[in-house]
Chain A
């Protein structure tokens, strides 16, 4: 980083400059969009910060709609123009993030104008919807840090969801959860075997696992669950309110009135951050991801490290998959993960291969997801399909804007052949 910043100015990175300009153009487009589409918001938007039965009740937040929207547009346009004049470096990413954030806020104010909107409820839903994406991203991250690309997250989530429903119905919630974790780990182990021992192309192996799990779970669900419904009727983990913290306004319901999947995801993000960046084994794992031959020379068993971490990644994905059934509806449906694993993968890249970053990215996806649900209630003139597209378009924009600066583990996707 510091080396690049001190490099002579004569060395021009064309890709970086083009990225800077593209981000600038995108920001100006966003500003134009805010003014043209959202400009004529009539009165004011009311955001409810508490629910009537909360311990501490905060007053409603009232925002004058039109001034707020114009200020947001002006700020975004400023950031965009700045990109052309003296942009680059860290500002590219930061500006893009700020611009998108402002656009979302302006949109929220516009959609809520003359209406009231429960911010607390939406943040709570955001957290819940972020969980499978964050866990999927974390699972992929554990694999990519040891240089195994894990497209199979989608299949592992689906396998976890299926196992959670089946075993949850047979032996109860905790048994179902444990089984889901074990099955997720099993698929992680299979992926590791295919790519480490049998040196199969990592992306092909991932695609195959996805196909296989989709086929198997759909087959069993149409062949067995259709007739024996009691096998697909698992208990759902209830929300647990943490005594004092749960009463904090706004943040309390979001973080401390949730079920074990939310707490599990938060804890895992913390633990994996500590593990990867502050322990000896974590350092070794990252060494395997960056330069396996050097790691091997130092006596680290590259194959073993990859097996262990990919299996752990699978277990995390299995836990995340169980959320779909044990953490939400208690019933398995064909292909119920619906691409969340892929979005998790995007969250990992978006989050720059860092657990906390992946969680933040997952929260962004969860936010747009729940926003789309809530906006259906507010009767906005924008078709719901476009709202549903928004997170994916945002992902493309972000990946296009960021990827040059986010760096994958150096050996990512490459098989290692011990000499």
Chain B
């Protein structure tokens, strides 16, 4: 076996883990279930270790459930939290499929969201049917451009996208702070960095307001579903998506097949950035109504976890995003009801990914859950 063969097979294994072609039932259902269960148990242990008594642990898990799926309001909150996660994670998943590790969703969300806000209040007065879609589009375009920088750098100079997207994230925080203090962006009469409000005609309408004015679920849910369908079509039905996946699976083979590697990298990054920008636009037009420093609140990093959990498959990403959205919404309820900090959710999320991304570890921990597979391993 030559060196190249060895390297290729190693790479293949890596990619199969990040973006499996046709995962088996066990990988898709049993491993995630175990992962969630074990992560919750370990979360309980951590709570006990920090001096929280057992009844409170029980109460916090009940609150976690009630706050995520326990009522119509809880479901609405779960969806509100899931929308930006799914949108940004779809972009990251597309990147993973192309062999690109984009850590820059956070910055792309900030820039896209800011663009949507600025577009919204600049063209105040346009009718809803024009202003709202165009504001979303503005967010997408700016997000695509911001991610495209990293893609272009990778294609033109070979600068690794992990480093450049991290740097672009750090730049975006400062750029946002600066923009929010500009006269024409900052809200009148305020000295702190906060943007003008989005006019009503640019807002994503709330869908359940007629039932209860507190229900925040907004039309972004439709955007999310549409994005899942479009990305699925793009990845598995369109020529461009095939080129994305081919470049990710084997850059050399793709190049020999006449696929222009540099162009594909730029396009994949830009598409990912467009989706992240859309996520940012969704947040400001559907939930926040304005931009403020760090309004992305870590969604871009959580989206990495969502994309990994969803195995870089659009439908998987949808379910993973809903799960993380539920954890987020339930976590807020937990903080209110049981006084347990929402930071616990971050720990549980990290543990879920460990167990998902290292199936060997789950199998080592629970050999009885994988009878067929462990036989396969033993061969």
Task: Given A194-B361, A215-B346, A219-B343, verify A415-B167 contact (CB < 8 Å).
Answer: no
Task: Given A222-B343, A389-B175, A392-B167, verify A403-B159 contact (CB < 8 Å).
Answer: yes
- Chain A residues, CB < 8 A from B18: 201, 204
Roughly how many angstroms separate A215 CA and B354 CA in the complex, as a whole number?
A: 14
Task: Given A201-B14, A201-B17, A346-B163, verify A211-B305 contact (CB < 8 Å).
Answer: yes
Roughly how many angstroms separate A415 CA and B17 CA in the complex, as a whole number?
A: 12
B residues 334-379 in Cβ contact with A at 8 Å? 340-341, 343-351, 353-354, 357-358, 360-361, 364
Roughly how many angstroms separate A200 CA and B170 CA in the complex, as a whole number?
A: 28
A residues 105-158 in Cβ contact with B at 8 Å? 151
Size of the B side of the interface (Cβ < 8 Å), in residues, is: 55
Is A200 in contact with B361, judged by CB distance below 8 angstroms? yes
Binds A, one of B5-13, B214-222, B274-282: B5-13
- Chain B residues, CB < 8 A from A354: none
Binds A, one of B126-134, B138-146, B150-158, B223-231: B150-158
Contact of B160 among A22, A222, A403, A414 (CB under 8 A): A403
Roughly how many angstroms separate A393 CA and B13 CA in the complex, as a whole number?
A: 35
Min distance, Cβ B27 to any Cβ of chain A, angstroms: 14
Task: Given A208-B353, A219-B46, verify A389-B174 contact (CB < 8 Å).
Answer: yes
Task: Given A201-B357, A219-B50, A403-B157, verify A208-B350 contact (CB < 8 Å).
Answer: yes
Q: Is A268 an interface residue, CB under 8 A from the partner?
A: no
When each residue 209-228 of chain A gets 1 if its CB lies under 8 Å from chain B and 0 otherwise, what string results? 10110111011101110000
Q: Is A287 an interface residue, CB under 8 A from the partner?
A: no
Min distance, Cβ B153 to any Cβ of chain A, angstroms: 5
Is A218 in contact with B358, judged by CB distance below 8 angstroms? no
Task: Given A201-B18, A215-B344, A216-B46, verify A400-B349 contact (CB < 8 Å).
Answer: no
When each residue 389-418 of chain A gets 1 if its CB lies under 8 Å from chain B and 0 otherwise, what string results? 100110110011101100000010111110
Residues of B within 8 A of A (CB): 3, 6-7, 10-11, 13-14, 17-18, 46, 50-52, 101, 153, 156-160, 162-164, 166-171, 174-175, 177-178, 301, 304-305, 308, 340-341, 343-351, 353-354, 357-358, 360-361, 364
7 A-B residue pairs with Cβ-Cβ distance under 8 Å, sorted by A, are A199-B13, A212-B347, A215-B347, A215-B349, A218-B346, A223-B50, A415-B14
List 15 other contacts, CB 8 Å, given A208-B305, A215-B345, A392-B167: A200-B361, A201-B17, A201-B18, A209-B350, A211-B353, A215-B343, A219-B343, A386-B174, A396-B167, A399-B153, A403-B159, A414-B7, A414-B11, A415-B14, A417-B13
